[in-house]
Amino acid sequence: MSTRAASPTGTRRVVVGVSGSIAAYKAPTVVRRLREAGCEVKVVATEAALRFIGAPALAAVAGGPVSTGVFDDPAAVEHVAVGEWAELVLVAPASADLLARVAAGRADDLLTATILTTTAPVLLCPAMHTQMWLNPATVENVATLRRRGLGVLDPADGRLTGRDSGTGRLPEPEAIAAEALRVLAGRHARETEGPGLAGRHVVVSAGGTREPLDPVRYLGNRSSGRQGTAVARAAAAQGARVTLVAANLDADVLRDLPPTVSVVGVGTALELQDAVRAACTDADAVVMAAAVADYRPRSVHGAKIKKHGLAPGEEGGAAGPAPIELVENPDVLAGLVSRPPRTDGGRTLVVGFAAETGDAEGDVLAHGAAKARRKGADLLAVNAVGQGLGFGDVPNAVVVLDAAGAEVARARGSKDEVARALVALVAGRLAGA
């Protein structure tokens, strides 16, 4: 395998591919933003792309010629040379046709041939009509590409060509450039700091489940989801394809997630269980950071339960509120261990979280060790919670235990610092598997 090292000056090398979409008019701004960030850029356009935007406009912002055909310079074997030169291949916009050709392994123009030969990360930014994006063929192509480890951003919502609106807009150039720089930073971290998670699928759960009592009230917990989303960001920075199962997360918690993280929203423990198990059919690791309710009401009232009814003693009156009967929720973490959902013959590394408080029967670590032995997860991150501890936008500290309850690592600091330490541990375990 032939590869090239990063530039000794720190300049990052990006191939920007442009395919046939009306959104090609945004490509020069993407190129400009990358060059402003210090990247060296080569533009490779398809013939269809040049029907939407001229080669001179692309060449002017790139500071060099635009390549198009495999046979423009056969002696240079340009598709191999460009693929080896790149530290990232970014396609913006990526049309439905381009996604289909890449998924099929086609190499009938310079852009698809470059994607097929490069060993660098590939980031595809789709742009198309909503009906094309939702077509089963495109859905399957995107799933295939993500499964192979290529990054595929979800398109934005908004005004499309003509009068239509919906999902399918190319994300704004600033967002695309920011994601490209994040992928480059993750590549650099993998080159210098450890094995990374390139080509791996990591599932993360975050937030707190809510078990409804009636249309207004629910049984819940204080989890903000910040630690879980930090783990998702850290895994994505290490090159993983990440699925985040988000239980009742506020928009501000999700705001800084990379666009390559797929978010599945859930509400209750049963919904979370179903979503996690569905996502884990091909997962290399699952990190269960969500706070999952142990119990749920046996029945949910169809109308709001009234605080004030008839006075006690009046005909039909009640002496007080009726008791709420609870039933036990399934143990999602233990179920991942005892009934692995992976269907491709591989093994999923299972990582749990245990939010604990000390009591008369033992301290936080004693309760965590007992839980580690009971659950059987490969790793269990134990942290103390309470007033000013663990929950919310506050620092965190975890002790990581193995399935026997033995300590294997500790991490302390911000949620992001703890997440990076935990993800490094996961990457190391997977590399040694």
Q: Which residues are annotated as catalytic?
A: 221
Give the position of tokens 């720089």: 181
Alpha-carbon distances of 321 from 144, 205, 218, rounded to whole Å: 54, 35, 16
How many other CB atoms sit within 10 Å of the CB of residue 155? 23
Query: What is the four-CA torsion angle of 260, 265, 268, 270, rounded to 10 degrees?
Result: -60
Give the position of tokens 């007033």: 387
Angle at 173 between CA 44 and CA 127, to 5 degrees: 70
Annotate 106-136 with DSSP letters as a single string: --SSHHHHHHHH--S-EEEEE---HHHHHSH
Residue 335 structure tokens: 């179920």
Print the SS3 string covering 37-98. CCCEEEEEECCCHHHCCCHHHHHHHHCCCEECCCCCCHHHCHHHHHHHHCCEEEEEEECHHH
Question: Which residues, 6+ apart, have CB-to-CB distance to 253 below 8 Å?
Answer: 206, 207, 224, 225, 226, 229
Question: Which residues, 6+ apart, have CB-to-CB distance to 311 below 8 Å?
Answer: 317
φ, ψ (nearest 5 deg) of residue 68: -135, -60
Amino acid at 1: M
Alpha-carbon distances of 204 from 114, 183, 200, 226, 287, rounded to whole Å: 32, 19, 13, 12, 5
Reduced to 3 states, what is the DSSP secondary structure of residue 155?
Answer: coil
How many other CB atoms sit within 10 Å of the CB of residue 1? 4
How many other CB atoms sit within 10 Å of the CB of residue 360? 4
Q: How far apart are the first and last CA of the chain?
A: 23
268/41 Cα distance (integer angstroms): 47
258/244 Cα distance (integer angstroms): 11
139/96 Cα distance (integer angstroms): 10
